[in-house]
Structures are given as structure tokens and as C-alpha cells.
A = this chain, B = another copy of it.
């Protein structure tokens, strides 16, 4: 036990949940907000800005990358992490579809 039974759900249910899960940590919400405010970003800024260890920030960035929300480019000896706007919009649309479909009246 303790393991999520992904196999009993549809691919779409797992994908939606995975996406929500990645956004389900305040550090990752904060990272996205900060990056968008800067219009550019290097990881080291985030360590100062957010107040978590460098290893921890790096790990959170990896998760945001895993669902395609961030793209990173090497820029000298830093990384330039940015929001992948296309993916971002795509996910926003999927979310709204989910919300609109699920909305219903009963009771």
C-alpha cells in the first residue's frame, strides 16, 4: 500500500492529476510567479528570493520542467529558465475544459 493505483484510472485522469500535483507546492507556485515577474530568470536568484536551499530549488525546477511548464537555456554559466507559454496556455485550456465539464447542478 501507499502507492497510487494509476492503472485503474484513465490516461487523462492521471495526466490531469499529475499536472495539478506539480502545481501543488507553494515553492513551485512561487517560482512560476517570480519567473514571470522577471521575464527571465536564473536559478541562483530563486535561492535568495524564495529561501530554500539550492538543491531544493533545483529539484522543484526539475518537476516544473517534467510537465513542460518551464524551458531552460544555458546562458553562460547560468541557466535561463522561462515559462513555456505555449504549454502554459495549453494546460490552462485543458483545465478550463475540466472545470466546465465538471461543473453541474444537483442537490
Contacts and interface: CB of A to CB of B under 8 A. Distances in A.
Contacts of A51: 5, 8
Interface size range of chain A in the complex: 35 or more
Chain A, interface SS category: helix
A44 B52 CA distance: 43
B80 A103 contact: no
B83 A8 contact: no
Given A8-B51, A106-B39, A25 B33 contact: no
Contacts of A50: 8
B9 A26 contact: yes
Contact of A82 (B26, B41, B99, B106): B106
A36 B104 CA distance: 6
Given A17-B28, A21-B21, A52-B5, A92 B83 contact: no
Interface of A: 4-6, 8-10, 13-14, 16-30, 32-33, 35-36, 38-41, 50-52, 71, 73, 80, 82-83, 85, 88-89, 91-92, 95-96, 98-99, 101-107
